[in-house]
A and B are shown apart, each in its own frame.
Chain A
């Protein structure tokens, strides 16, 4: 009896995703094309830094995209602790996975940019260190989460961890204002005194930057998170069905 009840809630194997998700996915794919066009063709070459400066149009928006995704984790965590509804925990998990991928893009593009501009792949600068801590913190979220077997304990722990972990994102965002001895340039407001690799935010830069910010900060994270939530729901449903089958076998 339990099996048939669960089976009825498990989507059939070939079920199509909702129309809105398909539309969003198409928009996302087109947006990535637009992002590449703006980055590689529309934006002028930075005269002092050369073509490598174009990575900025992905580097900064991907950080804010991660911020958005990790923000969803905070929202999911708070709501789960309030309501105990698993869909909020699923949102939190999707936020971490997508945010982590975007944070890694942020770190990798920053490191590749730094090689010709700072003459090093990595330096233990305040912002770089805080960004690395942020990535490791969220990677640890996934590791800890997979290590807890009891679903309720896992979700409670993950919710609290996800809420607390946002401090590493905020720290990364504001650290160049707190620690003035940094070579990382700032785009929002004046760069720190020791910043290396700064550039002027001209109209051309702003026109290329604003759509990239929208694409990487909202469209890409939302589409990926939506697919991840859908996948998690499916995994959960199959898992429930598996448990039901096993319990039926045991009885």
Chain B
């Protein structure tokens, strides 16, 4: 009995030490970017909140993020939708009164995940860059809306097909403005949080264009502003923070239930085996008692 008690104490130490060690590890964790986590069960997504932006989760259809300094004209909407939802349908959840004109489409890959990218003009003023991704029995949308009618703001990315030449900024510009043909007036390299980007200023048909783009593995990712370039940097940082940090909590509850049921079933099987052996032993005992009485 003393040995058993000693063994129990050892087991308790074995129990508590790993867990307390695990808790001690928590103190070493680096500070993390603030994240917003949606509460939609199986369609749960997680999105980082860009620095200087605020979250509005009061709407049931979407999560809205706006820059603190420019909440009226600039916003990013994130939503989890039923599979197969079209981009226009997602945008209409934000405002179903908008008249949308599709300007360009593309497919880009971030961190190995493909997004369908569409650029729209809003006839009532402003424009939209919408990222759509079908995954885990849902469609996820990240939509940037510019409501400032005085400027255009688009996010566009292009990647070359197999055997095609590397994409240039001109290719991206012509995807949005087919007649665009201008050389940059000014170009500067900018070291941002996620890489070195090229800032360029153009003048074409008396319009000023400001672009911030990055060329990577033959593809070009660009934020384009037809205007003075006041918002291009802020929008670039926010969209890339959201897109690169965006992740979906997988819906794998079925596997969890399978594991729980299997664990309980194994325990019940063991208990059942003990019970069956006990019952058989009792039958043996009855037989023995019967034989004893007969003899």
Chain B: minimal CB distance from A33 (Å): 11
- Judged by a CB distance under 8 angstroms, whether A26 is at the interface is no
Which residues between 256 and 295 of chain B lie within 8 Å of chain A, taking CB atoms? Answer: 256, 258-260, 262-264, 266-267, 269-271, 274, 277-278, 281-282, 284-286, 288, 291-292, 295
Decide if A146 is an interface residue (CB 8 Å cutoff).
no
Chain B CB within 10 Å — which of A58, A104, A213 has the most?
Answer: A213
Contact in complex: B3, A75 (CB < 8 Å): yes
- Number of A-B residue pairs having CB atoms within 8 Å of each other in the complex: 172
Whether the Cβ atoms of A200 and B26 lie closer than 8 Å is yes
- B113 located at the interface, meaning its Cβ lies under 8 Å from any Cβ of chain A in the complex: no
Question: How many whole Å from B286's CB to the nearest CB in chain A?
Answer: 7
Question: B194 contacts the other chain (Cβ, under 8 Å)?
Answer: no
Q: Does A203 contact B (CB under 8 A)?
A: yes
In the complex, are the beta carbons of B262 and A210 less than 8 A apart? no
User: Closest chain A residue to B277 by CB distance?
Assistant: A231
**Considering only CB atoms and an 8 Å cut-off, how many residues of chain B contact the other chain?**
54
- Chain B residues positioned under 8 Å from A10 (CB to CB): 285
Q: Which residues of B contact A (CB under 8 A)?
A: 3-4, 7-8, 10-12, 14-16, 18-23, 25-26, 29, 35, 37, 44, 46, 247, 249-253, 255-256, 258-260, 262-264, 266-267, 269-271, 274, 277-278, 281-282, 284-286, 288, 291-292, 295
| Residues of the A chain whose Cβ atoms lie less than 8 Å from the Cβ of B22 | 187-188, 201, 205-206, 209
Contact B284 A242, beta carbon cutoff 8 Å: yes
Q: Is the CB of B11 within 8 A of A52?
A: no
Determine if B285 and A13 form an interchain contact, defined as CB atoms under 8 angstroms apart: yes
- B288 proximity list for chain A (CB < 8 A): 238, 241-242, 245
Which A residues have a C-beta under 8 Å from some C-beta of B? 3, 7, 10, 13, 32, 36, 39-40, 45-52, 54-55, 58-62, 64, 67-68, 71-72, 75, 79, 91, 97-98, 101, 104-105, 108-109, 112-113, 115-116, 187-189, 200-203, 205-206, 209-210, 213-214, 217-218, 220, 222, 224, 227-228, 231, 234-235, 238, 241-242, 245, 248-249
Contact A241 B255 (CB under 8 A): no
Contacts of B249 in A (CB 8 A): 45-48, 50
Name the CB-closest residue of A to B256: A51
A104 touches B284 (CB 8 A): no
